[in-house]
């Protein structure tokens, strides 16, 4: 069930600030990873992988930084994610994040790891 919730969230429409649909999805995933890291003290985003993969989508970490072209999109998505999962327990949220992005993740394996 939690995997379905995560998939439905990732497929939901995103404000059209990003250049392409793949950039939008990637930005949404970055926001989700940031949220997961904030809710799950045992998990850590592997920013090296994000930085290595981002250019594939014509993105760079600076795009999400304060003043970057996608900073507002990232902040908006983070807030939406926070509101969406506010009622879920940390165990559920952390499990979803790990299922999607952990070492054997179904969305992007290895992007999040245990501290």
pLDDT in tens, 27-75: 999 999 999 999 999 999 999 999 999 999 999 999 999 999 899 999 9
Lowest pLDDT segment from 8-12, 40-44, 51-55, 77-81: 8-12
CB 52 within 8 A of CB 46: no
CB 3 within 8 A of CB 100: yes
Per cent of the chain over pLDDT 90 is: 74
Consecutive H or E run containing 44: strand 43-45
Length of the chain: 115
Beta bridge partners of 114: 43
Sign of the torsion angle spanned by Cα atoms 54, 57, 60, 61: negative
pLDDT of 4 reads 45
Distance CA 14, CA 70 (A): 12
pLDDT of 2 reads 55
In which domain, by residue range, is 79 found? 2-12+20-114
Nearest to 52 by CA among 110, 99, 6: 110
Number of domains in the chain: 1
């Amino acid at each position: 069930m939690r995997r379905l919730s995560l998939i439905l969230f990732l497929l939901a429409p995103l404000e059209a600030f990003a250049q392409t649909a793949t950039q939008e999805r990637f930005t949404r995933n970055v926001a989700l990873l940031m949220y997961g890291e904030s809710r799950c003290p045992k998990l850590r985003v592997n920013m090296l992988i994000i930085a290595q993969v981002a250019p594939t989508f014509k993105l760079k970490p600076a795009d999400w930084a304060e003043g970057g072209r996608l900073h507002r999109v990232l902040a908006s998505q983070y807030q939406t994610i926070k509101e969406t999962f506010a009622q879920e327990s940390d165990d559920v949220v952390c499990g979803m994040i790990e299922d999607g992005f952990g070492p054997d993740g179904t969305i992007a394996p290895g992007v999040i790891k245990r501290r």
